[in-house]
Amino acid sequence: SSGINAEWPLRPGDECPEPTNPNVWLEELPPKFCGVLPFKGRAHPQEKERSEELLRGLDDAGIKHDGKWRVAQFNPPWCIPMLRYNEIIVDLVDYVEPPQPQE
């Protein structure tokens, strides 16, 4: 394994062709809650400072996480860096969504 994974999330109802390459597969994952830190500009494989900021913020808020962060990049490579939208994402552990206020 090269240590690099790529994911393309699909919305419910989206269709995707069956992969022809044995190194590519489709996998349905259950919904989960994640902590997210958005940022603009170029994303680098080792976003250590931003990931530490996200993990520290979750720790300070008392929100449990698995500590395994990843980078999500939403724009094509030719997009101007200052217009790029990216996120640092970490899965939350035992998180229960707080009740929404009733209107």
Structure tokens at 42: 């170029």
The tens digit of pLDDT for each residue in 55-88 reads 999 999 999 999 999 988 888 889 999 999 999 9
Residue 51: predicted pLDDT: 94
Coil/strand/helix, residue 72: strand
Question: Which position has the token pair 């993990």?
Answer: 55
Q: How far apart are CA 71 and CA 103, in angstroms?
A: 36
Four-point Cα dihedral 23, 26, 31, 37, nearest 10? 50
pLDDT band for 95, please (50, 70, 90 cuts): confident
